[in-house]
Chain A
Amino acid sequence: MRCCYNKVFGKYDLNVELKEGGIEVSITGKGKKKSYYRKAGEEEVEKIIYAEEGNVVICPVEPVNLPNEGTSQHLLIELEKPIIIEPGIEDVFYVKFPIEVGVFLIDKKDVERIDIFTITKPKYILYGPPESGIICKWWRSDAFGETPEVKRLYEGVMKVEAKNNYSEWVEIKKMVFRALDMKLFYNEHAFMHSYLEIMKKTMGETSFNERKPKNMKRAIDIYLAKGIKRLEKKFVMEWGFK
């Protein structure tokens, strides 16, 4: 029996139609052969799926896959207004990050990604010098004192716990996070809880809290689904915060 929902994120049977905020996802068909259709903005994708059992999970994924997978594995969030942190101070603020939505087929044995899409306008940036820097997905956000309102298919909320371990004031304009370290959760919106540890005037470490917040679901980790191991769980920002 086909089910219709007006929320995209969630776990569904292999016969479903979803519509929310300009996004349409459907899996239709009888027997093993199903048709997958997705529309996000102007972009439309159709695929044929052969599956008998299992479910489809639609959830936010690490926002570095589009428009070109492999171009970047880092997300750089540029703050509209820089934050200046006193030595020894620990502060919590919230920023927004772009949403990419992953569609996965899951059964008892395996997780298979069938689509990733976004309605955000992606842009890349170079963090560091051209000869040794890294290409990052770029996003600009205000820093908020409390959880901000977001359009859930457009932006998610990242809680940042920043601690200045350096002996001087430090100004933060940019934060870089590695997709391999990210831990994404979702309910009404996507959520990540990150840490920023300032070690020097131009050096810091970013990492993520792995603990699942209450009333939230854990998003499917693309890198775990691909079988990529996580060796280091921190990213060193060695080219500063500006």
Chain B
Amino acid sequence: MNIGAAIKDVIDYQIKVLGGRTVGDVIFFFVILFVAVIIAKIVRINIRRTLKEKVPKTTLNAVEKIFYYGIITVGFLAALPYIGVEPTGLMVAGGIAGIVIGFASQTVVSNLISGIFLLIEKPIKIGDGVSLGDVSGVVKDIRILSTTIRTWDGIYVRIPNEKVFTSNIQNFVAHAARRFEYKIGIAYKDDADKAIEIIKNLLEEHPLILKEPAPQIFVEELGESSVNLAIRIWAPSSHWFSVKTEMLWKIKVALEKEGIEIPFPQRVIWMADKKKAKI
């Protein structure tokens, strides 16, 4: 007996437990699986190379896994007939299971798709100060299913991506600069031009108050108790809050130092009857 014929006999040997499939079929099953694993690995490496700089590590891991196991599953299903398992039956069962799982996991899928759109559209980035619906804080992570925020008072909040995607997003640092405003009332007896000059000089001294767009200071309203000045200031978005908290008191101190009064609400009452009461 020659070796070729012996190998052919082994390959053609029918395995009873596998419904009469041959050893060759089983070998082919493993070859398909092997090729699927190789393709999955190649795809995973390419995804990693392409998206490494573009998406967060956690998201990258999730995308890699979805593609890796997806390809292996397709390979496995394609190879099943070679070991006597018809995937048609699995498909029917899988279809029913799919409907059940689909209903159960529609929120997960919705979050997943929203997460992908968030990564593409990029309305927020890690480290940005944002307001998402009724939650405000710093974005700590954008994952495939959820976004985590550290609120201004230090609380961890996990928001499903669907909610993030459909809510009104305010990104406080998306633009390089932002404006804030103060309203300060001075007494009617004081010189508004002088007050404006004092405030202007004070703002000029602060490095983070932008030279351009220049601060705007003007009389906005003749109020009931005071002449109201509006002060509009532009600062780098990254520092606007510290500037805002710092300057209001400095303006108050500077005005008072120059004898300009910031009055309390007051009302002058004229008495119609000048008769004095007898006590």
B-facing residues in A54-89 (Cβ within 8 Å): 67-68, 70-72
A135 close to chain B: CB less than 8 A: yes
In the assembled complex, which residues on chain B have CB atoms less than 8 Å from the CB atom of A121? 205, 207
B212: chain A residues within 8 A (beta carbon):
125-126
Which of B178, B211, B239 sits near A71, CB closer than 8 Å? B239
Restricting to B157-199, which residues have a CB under 8 Å from any CB of A?
175-179
Q: Which of A116-174 contact B (CB under 8 A)?
A: 121-126, 128, 130-135, 138
Among residues of A, the one whose C-beta sits closest to the C-beta of B178 is A130
Please give the distance in Å from A5's CB to the nearest CB on chain B: 30
Across-interface contacts of B177 in A (CB, < 8 A): 126, 130, 133, 135
- Are B176 and A133 in contact, with the CB atoms below 8 A? yes
Out of A70, A125, A128, A132, which one reaches B210, CB within 8 Å?
Answer: A125
What are the residues of chain B within 8 A of A123 when measuring CB–CB? 207, 211
- Residues on A with C-beta less than 8 A from B210 are 124-126, 135
B10 CB within 8 Å of chain A? no
- What is A's interface to B at a CB cutoff of 8 Å? 67-68, 70-72, 121-126, 128, 130-135, 138
**A-B pairs with beta carbons under 8 Å apart, 28 shown:** A68-B207, A68-B208, A70-B238, A71-B236, A71-B239, A72-B236, A121-B207, A123-B207, A124-B207, A124-B208, A124-B210, A125-B211, A125-B212, A126-B176, A126-B177, A126-B210, A126-B213, A130-B175, A130-B176, A130-B178, A130-B179, A130-B213, A130-B234, A131-B175, A132-B175, A132-B176, A133-B177, A138-B211
A122–B236 alpha-carbon span in the complex (Å):
14
- Number of cross-chain contacts by CB at 8 Å: 49
Interface bits B236-272 vs A (CB < 8 Å: 1, else 0): 1011000000000000000000000000000000000
Shortest C-beta distance, B270 to chain A (Å), equals 50
Task: Using CB atoms and an 8 Å cutoff, list the residues of chain B in contact with chain A.
Answer: 175-179, 205, 207-208, 210-213, 234, 236, 238-239
Cβ contact within 8 Å between B234 and A71: no
Instruction: Give Cα distance in the complex from A71 to B176, angstroms.
Output: 10
Looking at chain A's contact residues, the main secondary structure is: loop
Whether B234 lies near A126 (C-beta < 8 A) is yes
Contacts of A122 in B (CB 8 A): 207
Bound-state Cα–Cα, A68 to B208, Å: 9
Q: Which chain A residue has the least Cβ–Cβ distance from B174? A: A131
Contact of A135 with B176 in the complex, beta carbons under 8 Å: yes
Residues from chain B with a CB closer than 8 A to the CB of A130 are 175-179, 213, 234
Q: B207 — nearest CB in chain A belongs to which residue?
A: A122
> Once bound together, how far apart are the Cα atoms of A124 and B243, in whole Å?
13
User: In whole angstroms, how far apart are the Cα atoms of A133 and B174 in the complex?
Assistant: 11
Bound together, the chains give a CA A128 to CA B234 distance in angstroms of: 13
* Docked-complex contact A124 and B176, CB < 8 angstroms: no
In the assembly, what is the distance between CA of A108 and CA of B175, in Å?
42
Instruction: Find the B residue at minimum CB distance from A137.
Output: B207
Q: Could you say which of A124, A132, A133 contacts B211, with CB atoms under 8 Å apart?
A: A124
Give the residues in chain A near B207, CB-CB below 8 Å. 67-68, 121-124
Query: Closest CB-CB distance, B210 to chain A, in whole Å?
Result: 5
Q: When chains A and B are docked, how far (Å) is the Cα of A126 from the Cα of B213?
A: 7
Q: Are A71 and B208 in contact (CB under 8 A)?
A: yes
Shortest CB-to-CB span from A120 to chain B, Å, is: 10
Contacts of A71 in B (CB 8 A): 208, 236, 238-239
CB of A124 within 8 A of CB of B175, answer: no
Docked pose: A213 CA to B234 CA in angstroms? 40
* A134–B239 alpha-carbon span in the complex (Å): 14
Q: A135 — which chain B residues lie within 8 A by C-beta?
A: 176-177, 210, 236
20 further contact pairs, Cβ within 8 A, besides A67-B207, A71-B238: A68-B239, A70-B238, A123-B207, A124-B207, A124-B208, A124-B211, A126-B176, A126-B210, A126-B212, A126-B213, A126-B234, A128-B176, A130-B176, A130-B178, A130-B213, A132-B175, A133-B176, A135-B176, A135-B177, A138-B211
Greatest chain B CB density within 10 A among A130, A131, A132, A133 is at A130
Q: Which residues of A contact B176 (CB under 8 A)?
A: 126, 128, 130, 132-135
